Amino acid sequence: MADTPQHPDRPAPDHPLTDRPVYVIGGGPGGLSVAYALRARGLRAVVLEKSDRVGASWRRHYDRLHLHTTRRLSGLPGLPMPRRFGRWVSRDDVVRYLEKYAEHHDLEIVTGVEVSRVEPSPDGSGWLLRATGGRELTGAAVVVATGHNHTPRIPDWPGRGSYSGEFLHAGEYRNPAPYAGREVLVVGVGNTGAEIAVDLVEGGASRVRLAVRTAPHIVRRSTAGWPAQFTSILVRRLPVGLVDRLAKPVAKLSVPDLSAHGLPRPGTGLYSRVKEGAIPVLDVGLIDAVRRGRIEIVAAVDGFEDGKVVLTDGTRLSPDAVIAATGYVRALEDLVGHLGVLDAHGKPVVRGARTPAHASGLYFTGYTNPISGNLREMAIDAQKIAKAIAGDGSRRIARLPMP
């Protein structure tokens, strides 16, 4: 694996100067899988990673994180995850796997290079990437894979500067040790917020509250040995209304009614919510902690005043710490926003093998959060993207030397 080639935009010496590599922006699972899929087709792919190692975003996740998707359905193309990782792979093992994946496939990776802007090349035959150090790299095609969880999103709560306690985004949370014996308010009941709340309870926090704006659908990660991911894959192409109707009786049988504890069953269907971008919470201890009163459900945060947290129902709290599990933004506007390839929410208008009609040769992967598993879908997209790029006869792509 080449970590720091001096001229990443220079084709191999035995290729014409018109042959250019495919640049892959981002050294996470999406970028690495695309690089392998291109390499498997004999095409030169160069991964540009702004940090000093692959899998940077995974290294920043909280300590107890495990995949909610099974090991067998979370591997990237060309290398399965080792059986010793177990069924639910830990954060550290995901990082080890990504490192091994890059090494095993001898991927060409340039670290410490952040791409700030992508533009059409002056000759119109490819793409120009402006990067750190004044670099200007020209590629035959570009795959953007900077990640779904790129930049922490914190709501513009009024008065937050007046809060006297500790405030942090969930992306900064690592483990419960600093919060033992303290009162903590976790804001947001997605999978991250729910799991951090459980982690705090198990780690000795004196009181844990979970601020909820909209009650989520809660699904058992596995029921009688059958992972929720298997069901998600089976139903993902069925009509939304049908899946909503099928999910309702299953939820009543597998998940207790938590209405008395502040978590009523949602009024909208499970798959309808998924289509709106709300992934169900996969239970890893939340249900039991709420039923036992170890996690208290409270109203959503409305703002801050006189050093206290003000909830939408008028309640005022004075926790020692607030952890905002309020999600992330993709932050693609500076990179490609000028190309008209993003929707009103900053998401790519197309992904996978599709490329915008007015931005041919520009691809995106990893910007959705599908119920069937993000890693699984990125692995599938990688093969489709590589096939599309290889089949684009209008581009002179540098090929790898024959062994």
Q: Is the pLDDT of residue 12 over 60?
A: no
pTM for this one? 0.90
Q: Could you tell me what percent of the chain has a pLDDT over 90? A: 83
At 241-275, the pLDDT tens digits run: 999 999 999 999 999 999 999 999 999 999 999 98
* pLDDT in the model for residue 277: 83
Q: Is the pLDDT of residue 11 over 60?
A: no
Which stretch of DSSP H or E encloses residue 144?
strand 141-144
Domain spans of the chain, in order of start: 22-150+330-390, 153-324
* pLDDT in the model for residue 14: 40
Angle between helix axes 29-40 and 91-104 (nearest 10 degrees) is 20
Torsion angle of the four alpha carbons 17, 22, 25, 28, in this order, in degrees rounded to the nearest 10: -130
Q: Is the pLDDT of residue 320 over 90?
A: yes
* pLDDT in the model for residue 2: 42
Across the chain, mean pLDDT equals: 92
Handedness of CA 280, 379, 25, 60 (dihedral sign): positive
DSSP 260: G
* pLDDT in the model for residue 10: 41
Average confidence (pLDDT) over 72-99: 97
CB-count burial class (<10 Å; 0-12, 13-18, 19+) for 236: middle
153-324, which class in CATH?
Answer: alpha beta
Whether the domain at 22-150+330-390 and the domain at 153-324 fall into the same CATH topology = yes
Q: Is the pLDDT of residue 177 over 70?
A: yes
> 87 falls in which pLDDT band (50, 70, 90)?
very high
Average confidence (pLDDT) over 357-379: 92
Judge contact between 121 and 128, C-beta under 8 A: yes
The 3-state DSSP class for residue 185 equals strand
Q: Could you tell me what percent of the chain has a pLDDT over 70? A: 95
* pLDDT in the model for residue 18: 58
Q: Is the pLDDT of residue 369 over 60?
A: yes
Please give the structure tokens belonging to residue 57.
């975003």
At 129-165, the pLDDT tens digits run: 999 989 999 999 999 999 877 789 999 999 999 898 9
* pLDDT in the model for residue 6: 41
Report the distance separating Cα 154 and Cα 329, nearest Å.
10
At 25-75, the pLDDT tens digits run: 999 999 999 999 999 999 999 999 999 999 999 999 999 999 999 999 999
Q: Is the pLDDT of residue 16 over 80?
A: no
Taking the domain 22-150+330-390, which CATH number applies? 3.50.50.60
Q: Whose CA is closest to 329, among 210, 212, 187, 171? A: 171
